[in-house]
Structure 1
Amino acid sequence: MIATILLLITIFLYLRLRATFFSSAEAKNLPPGPLGVPFIGQSLSLLRAMRANSAEQWLQQRVAKYGPISKMTLFGKPTVFVHGVAANKAVVFSGEEEAVSNRQTESLRRILGERNLTELSGEDHKRVRGALVWFLRPQSLKGFVGKMDGEVRKHLNLHWHGNKEVIVAPLMKTLTFDIICSLLFGIEEGPTRKSIIECFKTMVDGIWSVPINLPFTRYSHSLNASAKVQQILKQLLKDKAQKMEEEEEEKEEDKNLITCLLSIKNKDKEQALSEEEIVHNIILLLIAGHDTTSILITLMLRVMATNPTVYAAVLQEHEDIHRSKECGEALTWEDVSKMKYTWRVALETLRLFPPVFGGFRVALKDIQLGGYTIPKGWQIFWAASMTHLDEKIFTDPQKFKPSRFDQNQTSIPPPLSFIAFGGGPRICPGYEFAKLETLVTIHYIITQFTWKLSSQDFLTRDPSLMPNKGLPIQLYPKL
């Protein structure tokens, strides 16, 4: 019975897809490559490769067979995969809003909400991005260092000290979630935060999935979890808006991203964000910050456990800062600005192991690229690692070399070749927040502990990159 339903759904969607997209592509010079089975196409094959952490090889085989531009079907839509710095400049991170727009997969769009930043274009994108960037700019973040310092110390005292072994990945997810909830959204420990995090893993599991909304699918479970989170956040907005109305002046400790966005709504109708835009972008930042930064910190500990030279250099940098502090004194913005080598280690970790595999755009008109036509309405798919591991851009690309990102070097990566945070007008607005969070966390881990891996592991993507065992490590606290 289920098989019959799936077959009927597939046939229906295929006919609709063909009527919508394929007719417009007729007689055009399409890129090479098969579209595959209707609706499904290469989706399941790519997802299998991601879980085996062989998606880069999967794409490299396509490049070897069809060249840097090829067509396929991914997650229900005809798709053109593009590769290279030229493609990144021309279509992926282009500012030409009339030609290319943000358009994530159906599953990602529905789970995050259709008014999140990765879906918006033109004036809407500038308006929402401007509001987020204004709050997350370095001038604002300077005031976060002390509170973030306290969150990290509290986390280590609760979950690390007194344990001989910890599993890093889930603990880093807990830490980054707590930091984001507390600092960005003013959601302190309690039922609201607990309810959100209970829905979170289910939401993330379905982000890259075939969008078949049947009760037994990952996609369906993720949609339900997203709906619950949105209801919780809408109530939170109402509560904060009411509190702001009752108080004549907002207290400094109550200021956060939500109150900032609500203030814009109250003061400037032209720049105001709708309730949906605020809620959907809170979800975006929660998922992006919770997943990507926690993965980065986890993988940095993995790198340092297996690379004594890198570990020693990071340790030296942080011991110098630690010795300059009074006992119990919190880090300052000036301290964080001295952690230059540690951030280069972070960037090199992101180059080799980007937490986000890739993303999608949509062609708003027929686009000419590399002698081929990308038809209007087709998806454009890009993957970060394709330029990160290109030996024409990065010499000996499989080697871990933090010096690649030393600004004093003459051979720094060319623009739009390192795209772990996106690029151009699409660069991640939370870049500086993620940097601060990473550096403060590494400082306290490396000055309070030494560690070694408890067992061998391998990396897998489902959908984000992660050690398959969560990175268990043996802890040795420093006296």
Structure 2
Amino acid sequence: MDYLSVVVALVVTIASIAIIHLLTRANKPCPPNLPPGSLGLPVIGQSLALLRAMRGDGGSRWIRDRIDRYGPVSKLSLFGTPTVLLAGPAANKFTFFSSALSTRQPRSVQRILGEKSILDIHGADHRRIRGALLEFLRPDMLRTYVGRIDGEVRRHLEENWAGRPTVTVLPLMKQLTFDIISALLFGLERGAARDALADDFTRMLEGMWAIPANLPFTAFSRSLKASRRARRVLEGITRGKKASQLLEHGNGKASSNSNSDLITCLLSLTDDQGDQLLTDEEIVDNAMVALIAGHDTSSTLMTFMVRQLADDPVTLAAMVQEHEEIARNKTDGDQALTWEDLTKMKLTWRVAQETLRIVPPLFGNFRIALEDTEFDGYFIPKGWQVFWTANVTHMDASIFQEPAKFDPSRFESQTMSAIPPCSFVAFGGGPRICPGIEFSKIETLVTMHHLVRQFRWKLCCKENTFVRDPMPTPLHDLPIEIKQRTAP
């Protein structure tokens, strides 16, 4: 099919859907007291406008302009579904804690990640799968991961940073976090299989937030194909580990490494009847989610920390002091980091939190109304999406004074106690708050420890801009000049 035929087919499809939509809507009574705003064109709605804005200034101005026009509650249509945009701490609290709402990803995300992921289930199934994931992320297990992550970071810096005059930060951070995730979540060693999975993963992300039209030449179509390839890899890993476990059990051996990686851990969990707690499909779908959650958010955070520290010598000096003191106080002769070392990196984590406040990796997220409900006097019909964004409260001057100013002291405990609940929402909130917060924290603290002790850097591009696609991406992926730091 040539390009013109594809365009004609697309136009005819959209026109047909629009006519059906208008005829159907004409026979339906309008619900009372809907929020202000417009649903826009059928199917398309405001999706293209939002995506253009995200790839322009990150989308923040588009959201602020909409709030200025309609107020903190408004209706629109995103990714083919009627949607209510909510803004502010009270709206965040309602979104995170209301029993009338459940998580709902755009159809494009559902098709790419799978129907059985923790992002799109609720009730008993959500509790079951979340509990299974938290088994891998127990505090005692997290302690054992510190040394393995430390080794991955050391190797990565030696191979990709040391001795080079310039590096491009974002792709290197993505490579690092992908290597960590591959080892700890999938037990996948370096080689051709890991490289192929990394390529498919990158293509998979391109169509996560897109109109779910599976037509040639679209980002969504490319992402679906990459998703199918990535899924086949994870299905193969799952089958292999399951066979190994069955062989061990058949030989009368107890598995000695049931928590060595996420898939092995999930396969080892059983219910009260001794049956596998999660189906293979649930394991693969949630491994896909973990791949994104553990890879993209951490790599984005660390990239923007590097960007901030390049122009912030005061904060950088304080961080260097913190990490040098930790290194000096290690008396066992082994410089590998431990869990106890990470608990001393309080300033570094405040710097990370302030970076997350100004540039949250997750622009926003969706819920779905399980029943008719209302917020702030406005009616939200059953089946409609609810859309919240982190940036609205993060950059609210009535909550965070001088919100554009980088100030890690905001996250000192006495300062945060004065902030309204559900104002800082970089990790979401409520029963569905990100289960991988501590894992991401370990990745970030270990990486920044070695980075600030080994290198100094300056930006190659002074323009301080970024776009979202859908994660924040700095100009040219943040190229920097680096120099090896001399020991104090």
Fold conserved between structures, TM > 0.5: yes
Q: How does 1:119-158 map to 2 (within 5 A)?
A: 119-158=120-159
Cα distance in 1 between the residues matched to 2:345 and 2:245:
38
Aligned to 2:79: 75
Report the CA distance between 1:275 and its aligned residue.
1.0
Alignment pair present for 1:394 and 2:397: no
Distance (Å, rounded) in 1 between the aligned partners of 2:439 and 2:19? 45
1:378 equivalenced with 2:384 (yes/no): yes
- State the TM-score, normalizing by the size of structure 1: 0.95
**Residue 65 of structure 2 aligns with which residue?**
61
Counterpart among 301, 306, 328 of residue 296 in structure 1: 301
Q: Which residue number corresponds to residue 43 of structure 1?
A: 47
In structure 1, C-alpha distance between the alignment counterparts of 2:325 and 2:439, rounded to whole Å: 23
> Which of 274, 277, 285 is matched with 1:280 structurally?
285
Give distance in 2, aligned partners of 1:122 and 1:408: 36
- 2:276 & 2:412 partners in 1: Cα distance? 38
Name the stretch that deviates more: 252-261 or 348-357: 252-261
After superposition, where does 1:59-458 map in structure 2 within 5 Å?
Answer: 59-90=63-94, 92-96=95-99, 99-247=100-248, 248-252=253-257, 255-265=260-270, 272-325=277-330, 328-409=334-415, 411-457=417-463, 458=465
Report how far residue 364 of structure 1 moved: 1.3
CA–CA distance in structure 1, aligned partners of residues 24 and 314 of structure 2: 56
Q: 1:19 to 1:246 in 2, by over 3 A?
A: farther
Residue among 25, 28, 33 paired with 2:32: 28
Q: Is the 8 A contact 2:372 2:382 kept in 1?
A: yes
Amino acid in the other structure paired with 2:60: E
Letter aligned with residue 437 of structure 2: Y
Q: Runs (4+) of structure 1 moved beyond 4 Å?
A: 15-25, 265-271
Q: 1:440 to 1:410 in 2, by over 3 A?
A: closer
Going from structure 1 to structure 2, the CA distance change for 1:135 and 1:120 (only over 3 Å counts) comes to same
User: What's the counterpart of residue 469 of structure 1?
Assistant: 476
Distance 1:150 1:13, change over 3 A: same
Contact 1:451/1:473 (<8 A) preserved: yes
3-state SS in 1 of match to 2:63? helix
Q: CA deviation at 1:456?
A: 2.1
**Aligned with 1:80: secondary structure?**
strand
Equivalent residue of 2:77, what SS? strand
The count of corresponding residues between Structure 1 and Structure 2 is 476
8 Å CA contact 2:79, 2:210 repeated in 1: yes
- Cα deviations by residue, 1:31-61 (Å, 9 ceiling, x for unpaired): 1111111111111111111011241111111
Q: Which ranges of structure 1 fall in alignment gaps of 5 or more residues? A: none
Cα shift at 1:462: 0.7
Shift in Å at residue 398 of structure 1? 1.1
Q: Cα 1:286–1:377, aligned 2, differ >3 Å: closer, same or farther?
A: same
Q: Paired residue for 2:11?
A: 7
Q: Secondary structure of the equivalent of 1:476? A: strand
CA distance in 1, matches of 2:402, 2:71: 22
Counterparts in 2 of 1:81 and 1:175: CA distance versus 1, 3 Å: same
1:19 CA displacement? 7.4
Q: Conserved in 2, the CA contact under 8 Å of 1:184 and 1:257?
A: yes
Counterparts in 2 of 1:263 and 1:23: CA distance versus 1, 3 Å: farther
Q: Kindly tell me: are residues 253 and 172 of structure 1, through their superposed partners in 2, closer, same or farther at Cα, counting changes over 3 Å?
A: farther
Q: Evaluate the alpha carbon distance shift between residue 25 and residue 412 of structure 1 in structure 2; reply closer, same or farther with a 3 A threshold.
A: farther
Higher mean displacement: 191-200 or 288-297: 191-200
Task: Describe the shift of the 1:17–1:196 C-alpha distance in structure 2 as closer, same or farther (beyond 3 A).
Answer: farther
| Percent sequence identity over aligned pairs | 49
Residue ranges of structure 2 left out of the alignment (5+ in a row): none
Query: Aligned equivalents of 1:266 and 1:42: distance in 2?
Result: 45
Deviation, 1:11, is 2.9
Secondary structure of residue in 2 paired with 1:258: helix
Assess, with a 3 A threshold, how the Cα gap between structure 1 residues 313 and 228 changes in structure 2: closer, same or farther.
same
> In the alignment, is the contact (CA less than 8 A) between 1:406 and 1:412 conserved in 2?
no
Helix, strand or coil at the partner of 2:367? strand
Code of the residue aligned with 1:313 in structure 2: it is A
The alpha-carbon deviation at position 184 of structure 1 amounts to 2.1
**What does the per-residue CA deviation read over 1:219-263, in whole Å, with 9 as the maximum and x for residues that have no partner?**
111011111111111111110111112221323497221111001
User: Aligned with 2:269: secondary structure?
Assistant: helix
Aligned-partner residue type, residue 65 of structure 2 = Q
Query: How far off is 1:327 after superposition?
Result: 5.4
Q: Retained in 2: the 8 A contact 1:362–1:377?
A: yes
**Aligned-pair CA distance for 1:369:** 1.1
Hey, what's the Cα distance between the residues in 2 that align with 1:224 and 1:15? 31
Task: Please state how far the C-alpha of 1:271 moved relative to its aligned partner.
Answer: 7.3
- TM superposition shift of 1:319: 0.8
Secondary structure in structure 1 of the residue aligned to 2:476: coil
| Alpha-carbon distance in 2 for matches of 1:25, 1:142 | 57
Given the superposition, is the C-alpha separation of residues 143 and 296 from structure 1 closer, same or farther in structure 2, using an over 3 Å criterion? same
- C-alpha contact 1:322 1:447 (8 A) present in aligned 2: no
Write the distance in 2 (CA, Å) between the matches of 1:245 and 1:27. Answer: 56
Deviation at 1:22, TM superposition (A): 8.0
Three-state SS of the structure 2 residue aligned to 1:251 is coil
Contact 1:148-1:440 at 8 Å conserved across structures? yes
Give the CA deviation at 1:346.
0.2
Moved more, 349-358 or 410-419: 410-419
CA deviations over 1:401-440 (Å, ceiling 9, x no partner): 1111111436443221111101010100110000000000
Structure 2 CA distance, aligned partners of 1:21 and 1:401? 50
